[in-house]
Amino acid sequence: MHIEIVVGNIVRQPDVDALVNSANANLRFGSGVAGAIHTAAGPELEQFCCRYSPIALGEAVVTPGFQLPNPYVIHARAASFINDDHPERDLDLAVAQTLRVAKEAGIKTMAMPAIGTGVFKFPPELAAEIILKGLLSRSTEYPDITLVRICVGVEQMRSVFQSMLDSLLET
- Strands 60-64, 72-76: pairing is antiparallel
Average of per-residue pLDDT across 100-110: 98
Strands in the chain per DSSP E: 2-7, 18-22, 60-64, 72-76, 109-112, 147-152
Largest CA distance in the chain: 45
pLDDT in tens, 24-39: 888 887 778 889 999 9
pLDDT for the residue 151:
97
Which domains does the chain possess?
A: 2-170 (3.40.220.10)
Residue 45: which of 78, 21, 16 has the closest Cα?
21
At residue 8 the predicted structure's pLDDT band, cuts being 50, 70 and 90, is very high
Q: Name residue 151's beta-bridge partners.
A: 6
Average of per-residue pLDDT across 104-117: 96
pLDDT in tens, 57-97: 999 999 999 999 999 999 999 888 988 889 999 999 999 99
Tell me how far apart the alpha carbons of residues 86 and 53 are, in angstroms, rounded to a whole number.
Answer: 21
3-state secondary structure 95-109: HHHHHHHHHHHCCCE
Phi and psi dihedrals of 50, rounded to 5? Answer: -55, -35
Residue 60: which of 17, 14, 91, 29 has the closest Cα?
91
**Residue 154 identity:** V
Task: Report pTM.
Answer: 0.95
Q: Is the pLDDT of residue 54 over 80?
A: yes
Tell me how far apart the alpha carbons of residues 33 and 39 are, in angstroms, rounded to a whole number.
Answer: 10
Q: Answer whether 3's CB lies under 8 Å from 163's CB.
A: no
